[in-house]
Structure 1
Amino acid sequence: METDVESAASRQDSGLPCLSVRLLGPLAITRNGVPTALPASRKLRALLAYLVLAPHPVGRGRLCELLWDVPNDPRGELRWCLSKLRGALDTPDRRRVRTQDDTVALDLGACLVDALEISHAATHRAGTLDAQQLRALAKLFAGDFLDGLELERNPHFNSWLIGQRRRFRSIHAAVLEQLVASLPTDCGEGIAHLDRWVELAPFDGRAHTALLASLARRGEIAAAEKHLVVAAQLFQSEDLDFAPLQSAWRAIRDQQSAASPRTLPACRSTASQSGFPLDPPNPGPPAPDPVEPSHASLAVMPFVEEAGPRGGLADGLTHDIITRLAKLRDFFVIARGSVFALADKGIAPEEAGRRLKVDYVATGTVRSMAGRLIVSVELVEVRTARIVWAETFERRPDDIFAVLDDIGDSIVSSISAEIETVERNRALLKAPNSLNAWEAYHRGLWHMYRFTQAENETARHFFASALRLDPTFARAYAGLSFTHWQNAFQRWGDRDRESALAFESAGQSLLVDDHNPAAHWAMGRALWLRGEQDGALGELEQAVKLSPNFALGHYALSFVHSQSGDPRAAIGSSDHSRHLSPFDPLLFGMLGARAMAHVRLGQFEEAAGWALKAAARPNAHAIILAIAAHCLALAGRLEEARGFAAAIRKTLPDYRADDFIATFRFEPDAEALFRQGARRIGLG
């Protein structure tokens, strides 16, 4: 399939009108291949670049703050710049510089903009491009982002500019890595891409390993060892661990030696001339292949406070986010000391991610202005330099600590959910027999959230596979417990037997890691199945105590309280779980629990409203539809209630109120209410 880059280029080559904006390298605008002159204003170029990459219209006040250091008339200078941009970009039949109210935006339809093409490919098509498409992208990297452009006394813009340059360098390295993998590295083109990759990512062991392997295949052992000596000096200068690269070279060399013994003397003679011991006197057997990590890993780099020194709100927020993510125990989180040490050295986040050998890096900025606190966050996949999640949180800092706590909640929950989604989707693309424990677990999650009997059984199979590969995987035990819980709750199997298996698997999860909130969550749900409400609430409260950001723990508390506990507590826990995870696969349950709590409070119209929201979720199962039918009946909305009853009976022809009541553990007053609703619509 043709990339957007190729189609735009073909339009230009065919002579059709095409506007092109180059931001990689010195900024340039061409129309039909003819350069368009711009005034010699750095701020004009800065304004153009910022508007090109802005995802939404930008306020004039923001642009003045960004680009002008309190001049006499910032808005007048902005108007002058916009008039010059109109002259360069607009045509009689199309206005590309658009102003509405107090905002400015660019219409870049039918334009070729190198930075936008690259950003789109990195965000939406990472890992799916063929060699031809990757070549087209690589050609767009004509230099650094806005090469040669610097603004004095503009810290906000310069911070943005440094971040963009860092991002595009990382994307360039990722494109070269994929291109190298798709080409024979012994050909001239492959070698050129390898050299450029190493130049862009001098501390990426994968780049050095690929180059060493290419040199070894061509028989250039001496050249490979010279490169290794230089790499050793480079890594040593930054206090980085050189051992993995040394081990990789040893394995490459031994493999090459086995194929051609003559290469060994040259290798050793070069090593003896260097100042670095590339091989110990008794190396022993070749180093084993690196073990694939069993969990995803994350580094949260120190957030940047745009208008203040280090050690303020931004550092405190970073520390809080790292602590909360670690408490989730979903993935491996790099400790605060390591990320702050790299940041103090001025290491860029994506480069820090490669040095720390993590899968994801989170970065952010904190800005205070005009009575508002603005926190912007990005989550980047290190291997592809793809932004997998980005968000801006804006609050009035009436109570700064409460505001930071609320923003921290949202950031932690979003990062956890996005990483889980990426890992699930990646596991789906792999052959089942090639999955490691971590991937098998996430494949199980994907099937588990389909909420059908067949998918639940498939999920159980993948969780069991994960545990065969890693018997210490607490979350996989919790997932296995969930599948048995579903079998009992949905009556897909013998309830007593499945309840016992859910309890057994939850117990195994606790034995493996009693500090894992998911283990206590699984045990709380299993105890609820057994009718032990007090024990269930105790375990669920421990889950959210261990990790206040554990959305499923708050939902499970709402679920238990909605039937026989405190209905007001159920409403609060439901709201909090949805605040933490607004797109959760179990959102229908969070909404349904709130609906049942309103029934117990006699608030039938409110119950009907929440039940309808629950039933509208795409993965809502028959029990959620039954909650909607009963709540609507109690609210007197009988026609709608009968519609849900009919929908249930299409798959469960004999479904009655007794089935609904037996599913839950209602107190007598709540049971009487739901039976009253059932009689009104023929389910009694």
Structure 2
Amino acid sequence: MAWTFGEFRLDPERFQLSRGGMPVRVEPQVLSVLIHLVRNRDRMVTKDEIATAVWQGQAVSDASISSRIRSARQAVDDDGARQAVIRTVHGRGFRFVAEATALAPAPAASESIVHPSSDHPGGRPSMAVLPFRPLGMLPELAIMSDAIPHEIIEALSRLRWLAVIARGSSFRFRQAGIDLDLVSTALTARYILSGIIESPRRTIAVTLELTDASSREILWADRLVAPVDQIGDLRARIVAHLIAALETHIPFNEARLARLNDPESLDAWSNYHLGLAHLYRFTAVDTALAQGCFERAVTADPQFARAHAGLSFTSFLDAFLRLSADPAAAGRNARRHAENSLELDPLDPFANFTMGRSFWLTDEPEVALDWLARATALNPNYAQGFYASAFTAMLTGDAPATFGALETSLHLSPLDPLLYGVHGVRAQMLVQQEEHQAAAHWADRAATTPGAHHLIAMIALAANSLAGRHDQAARWRQEVRRRKPDASAADYFAAFPTRDTGSRARIATELRRHGF
């Protein structure tokens, strides 16, 4: 809803006042006051009500309110003497008295259509990154309150699944106590990232909060600290830490909200996030459910690149975990869906990731590495891309590349859904180096990490058996049989076609010893 009065147009959705089609420069609090007055133009608005609406009920002086009213009058070519637009009701409040006409905004062509009964907003998630609020900052470091959010916006713009509001819009909201409802409405942002930056005792401390704008629920928060002379490293850590958190918390929240709605009303993005929620459980049932979600997303939007990449992922799991009766066909589907995704969006890291992993299934690790390197070049903070690169380097026996990529992946996403794979690849590489005790330690960690499947338990079985820990190996043998009764050594080597013949022979011997 926007309004016109005289030569002016006031648009709360865009959070903009314009005159004759040209924007009028107005401070956010002044614009908030003006919007509230116009919205309630049929009555007087008290000072307390203005304080609640604009300052969220924080203590504010009459002088501050009067200052904002004076600035609002100047913006609309009014003054305290004429009061042709904003009239003062002495001792009580203010009223908007100019004749205003309400305009119903036309829906944008690109907006997703959402079923009227749905409480989920639908469409691609959107985020506004606000300037950080400085507290006790050293003068020479005050610029960091803008510089770090700017770097975050640049990094988030690489994420194809998240719409990021431009700095020119979000940086208009920089004062303390800003109304998040106002920010969300003005910028059409579903999520808001805010922060506080301090410099106590020659250190820099940044506190971050990720908020769901509709529910006001804080989904994630963290605090990072570093000495002043390590501010460059801190800036890089903030960006990497944040992106890893967003990759987990926003899809989880989107899936949670989607579950509350009628499945028939869900749009492509909602089905996609529901698919992700099932995807990382690595069971036959959940993989099938994820596939159904991605198929519905493609039906709703055939041009949705990420939904095609999701279908590549589920087909990959069908082949890799032998969930399908025809693993070869599942492998071909993994490649086909990845190609479809890349044709629609060649710059999506997830599309490049799924294309790279499809080459594991055809024993072409060198080709896989090229695609995975492209995925991490497109998004340098893509933890799963680095994990997949480590896996591929392990297949070719490149230990330095394996361990380096694993450390990067773990640093970026210490609680990643593929964490079991990170530990499992380390264990597999240590077996190749004949470090069997260390391999057994990491394999145990891998197999007890959430999401670990029967192939990870087979790594633990082989590593413990090679380390002489036969009781532990026997326990893992029972666990493999429980998870997949028909598991075989052939399944193991189809999933891990390593080029190191010595380790392959040693593992094969131990698997045979335990009946595989």
> TM-score, structure 1 length as denominator?
0.58
Give the aligned partner of residue 675 of structure 1: 508
1:595 CA displacement:
1.1
CA distance, structure 2, for counterparts of residue 581 and residue 430 of structure 1: 30
Give the aligned partner of residue 341 of structure 1: 172
1:575 CA displacement:
2.3
Q: CA-to-partner distance for each residue in 1:321-365, whole Å, 9 max, x for gaps?
A: 111111122211111221123337995555323311111110112
Give the aligned partner of residue 433 of structure 2: 601
SS of 1:529 mapped into structure 2: coil
1:409 CA displacement:
1.0
**1:574 counterpart (392, 403, 406):** 406
Q: CA-to-partner distance for each residue in 1:411-452, whole Å, 9 max, x for gaps?
A: 221133211111121122222212111110111111112211
**2:219 counterpart (388, 391, 394):** 388
Q: CA-to-partner distance for each residue in 1:178-202, whole Å, 9 max, x for gaps?
A: xxxxxxxxxxxxxxxxxx9998557
**2:460 counterpart (628, 640, 643):** 628
Give the aligned partner of residue 124 of structure 2: 295
Mapping 1:365-444, distance limit 5 Å: 365-444=196-275
Q: CA-to-partner distance for each residue in 1:150-209, whole Å, 9 max, x for gaps?
A: xxxxxxxxxxxxxxxx9xxxxxxxxxxxxxxxxxxxxxxxxxxxxx999855799xxxxx
Q: 1:514 and 2:346 equivalent?
A: yes
Mapping 1:543-622, distance limit 5 Å: 543-622=375-454
SS of 2:468 mapped into structure 1: coil
* Counterparts in 2 of 1:496 and 1:432: CA distance versus 1, 3 Å: same
CA distance, structure 2, for counterparts of residue 520 and residue 286 of structure 1: 34
Counterpart of 1:364, as a letter, is G
CA distance, structure 1, for counterparts of residue 108 and residue 482 of structure 2: 61
Maintained 8 Å contact 2:195/2:208: yes
1:457 CA displacement:
1.0
1:530 CA displacement:
2.0
Q: CA-to-partner distance for each residue in 1:623-644, whole Å, 9 max, x for gaps?
A: 1111111111111111101111
* Counterparts in 2 of 1:420 and 1:356: CA distance versus 1, 3 Å: same
1:275 CA displacement:
3.9
Alpha-carbon RMSD across the aligned residues, in angstroms, is: 3.3
1:546 CA displacement:
0.7
Maintained 8 Å contact 1:301/1:363: yes
* Counterparts in 2 of 1:287 and 1:544: CA distance versus 1, 3 Å: closer
CA distance, structure 1, for counterparts of residue 431 and residue 481 of structure 2: 23
CA distance, structure 2, for counterparts of residue 462 and residue 374 of structure 1: 41
CA distance, structure 2, for counterparts of residue 546 and residue 337 of structure 1: 24
1:677 CA displacement:
3.0
Maintained 8 Å contact 2:113/2:267: no
* Counterparts in 2 of 1:327 and 1:565: CA distance versus 1, 3 Å: farther
Q: CA-to-partner distance for each residue in 1:23-48, whole Å, 9 max, x for gaps?
A: xxxxxxxxxxxxxxxxxxxxxxxxxx
* Counterparts in 2 of 1:236 and 1:576: CA distance versus 1, 3 Å: farther
Mapping 1:97-136, distance limit 5 Å: none
Computing the radius of gyration from Cα coordinates, the structure with the larger value is 1
* Counterparts in 2 of 1:237 and 1:430: CA distance versus 1, 3 Å: farther
CA distance, structure 2, for counterparts of residue 662 and residue 626 of structure 1: 13
CA distance, structure 2, for counterparts of residue 336 and residue 526 of structure 1: 38
Give the aligned partner of residue 328 of structure 2: 496
Q: 1:354 and 2:180 equivalent?
A: no
Counterpart of 2:502, as a letter, is D
Counterpart of 2:491, as a letter, is D
1:615 CA displacement:
1.0
SS of 1:328 mapped into structure 2: coil
SS of 1:298 mapped into structure 2: strand
CA distance, structure 1, for counterparts of residue 157 and residue 107 of structure 2: 35
SS of 1:593 mapped into structure 2: helix
Q: 1:465 and 2:289 equivalent?
A: no
Counterpart of 2:134, as a letter, is E
Q: 1:525 and 2:357 equivalent?
A: yes
**2:151 counterpart (320, 323, 327):** 320
Counterpart of 1:678, as a letter, is L
Is the deviation greater in 565-574 or in 509-518? 565-574
- Percent identity between the two aligned chains: 35
Q: 1:477 and 2:308 equivalent?
A: yes
* Counterparts in 2 of 1:349 and 1:626: CA distance versus 1, 3 Å: same
Maintained 8 Å contact 1:555/1:574: yes
* Counterparts in 2 of 1:523 and 1:197: CA distance versus 1, 3 Å: farther
Give the aligned partner of residue 283 of structure 2: 452
Count of matched residue positions in the alignment of Structure 1 and Structure 2:
426
Counterpart of 1:550, as a letter, is Y
Maintained 8 Å contact 1:474/1:519: yes
Maintained 8 Å contact 2:322/2:491: no
Mapping 1:46-65, distance limit 5 Å: none
1:286 CA displacement:
10
Maintained 8 Å contact 2:184/2:192: yes
**1:541 counterpart (359, 362, 373):** 373
CA distance, structure 1, for counterparts of residue 73 and residue 127 of structure 2: 22
Maintained 8 Å contact 1:543/1:553: yes
Maintained 8 Å contact 1:330/1:416: no
> TM-score, structure 2 length as denominator?
0.75
Q: 1:304 and 2:137 equivalent?
A: no
* Counterparts in 2 of 1:629 and 1:319: CA distance versus 1, 3 Å: same
SS of 2:225 mapped into structure 1: strand
Maintained 8 Å contact 2:134/2:198: yes
Counterpart of 1:454, as a letter, is V
Q: CA-to-partner distance for each residue in 1:473-531, whole Å, 9 max, x for gaps?
A: 22211111100000000112212211111111111111111111101001101122122
CA distance, structure 1, for counterparts of residue 151 and residue 159 of structure 2: 13
Maintained 8 Å contact 1:409/1:549: yes
CA distance, structure 1, for counterparts of residue 103 and residue 250 of structure 2: 39
Counterpart of 1:591, as a letter, is H
* Counterparts in 2 of 1:674 and 1:357: CA distance versus 1, 3 Å: same
Counterpart of 2:256, as a letter, is N
* Counterparts in 2 of 1:201 and 1:420: CA distance versus 1, 3 Å: farther
Maintained 8 Å contact 2:208/2:222: yes
* Counterparts in 2 of 1:286 and 1:236: CA distance versus 1, 3 Å: farther
Structure with more relative contact order (C-alpha pairs < 8 Å, separation 6 or more): 2
Give the aligned partner of residue 43 of structure 2: none
